[in-house]
Amino acid sequence: MKPARVVLAICTLNASLVVVAALLLAGAKSQADQDFAASHRAPAKAARVTWHATPADSQGLLPEATLSMRARPAPPVEEVSVVVTKADEPTDDELRAELQLALNRRYALQRTVTWVEGNDSPGAFLLCGRTRLFVFEGMNLNDLTGREAAARADVEVKAIATDHVLVNAPSIRRPDRRFDVRLELSQPPTSTYQWR
């Protein structure tokens, strides 16, 4: 058999398959259309009664679906009084306690260095996440650079004592107000020297 006849036979077979498939789809579609139309037939229209044509003594006897929506009066509007109350302003003590808790969570005080000589300032070692910081009196944490810059904040170190660091920082909820709070040691100090 010649290749041209093989190709012609294949094309004829394909064309006949397409025609059969088209006929089957058309029949299935028409059946689906008929089923849809049968299931969604519109009910018979009910007689419309306008609001004005309703007798006064038969209120509530007609079903709501038969009343005209355009002629129906608007429902009465009840006035609702909205009382706006001002949120309770937090007190200074609450703002200070909240700030102290937040700073002690962020900066863990590990050790203080208060015994210094000459012109050196007392210092403290803080831990902010994985970053170790060495801060000293009069320093603002916004001045940090390098790896320590991850701990930057508008926190000013005011004083360093043996068991805490006094810092001044803006309130979390009210940034326009600043408070002095203490960074406490994360662990109580242990003496490593024994005097003889």
Taking a C-beta distance cutoff of 8 angstroms, is the pair 133, 151 a contact? yes
pLDDT tens, residue by residue, 35-55:
776 666 656 566 666 666 555
The DSSP letter of residue 140 is B
pLDDT tens, residue by residue, 81-135:
776 555 678 888 999 999 999 999 999 888 888 777 777 788 888 888 888 888 8
Under the banding of pLDDT at 50, 70 and 90, the label for residue 167 is very high
Domain boundaries, the chain: 92-184
CATH class of domain segment(s) 92-184: mainly beta
Residue 138 φ/ψ, nearest 5 degrees: 85, 0
Average pLDDT of the residues in 53-73: 57
pLDDT of 194 over the 50 cut = no
pLDDT of 186 over the 50 cut = yes
- pLDDT over 70 percentage in the chain: 71
What is the distance in angstroms between the CA of the first residue and the CA of the last residue of the chain? Answer: 117
Under the banding of pLDDT at 50, 70 and 90, the label for residue 56 is low
Please give the radius of gyration of the chain, using alpha carbons only, rounded to the nearest integer.
43
Residues 6+ positions from 169 with CB-CB distance below 8 Å: 99, 103, 153, 154, 155, 156, 178, 179, 181
Residue 150 φ/ψ, nearest 5 degrees: -65, -20
Taking a C-beta distance cutoff of 8 angstroms, is the pair 173, 87 a contact? no
Q: What's the pLDDT at 149?
A: 85
Measured from the Cβ of residue 103, the count of other Cβ atoms closer than 10 Å reads 21
pLDDT of 58 over the 60 cut = no
Taking a C-beta distance cutoff of 8 angstroms, is the pair 90, 105 a contact? no
The residue with greater pLDDT, 84 or 26, is: 26
The residue with greater pLDDT, 162 or 64, is: 162
Average pLDDT of the residues in 165-175: 91
pLDDT of 4 over the 90 cut = no
Within the chain, residue ranges assigned H as helices are 3-39, 92-106
The residue with greater pLDDT, 37 or 6, is: 6
Q: What's the pLDDT at 193?
A: 46
Residue 126 to residue 146: CA distance in whole angstroms: 16
What rounded mean pLDDT belongs to the chain? 78
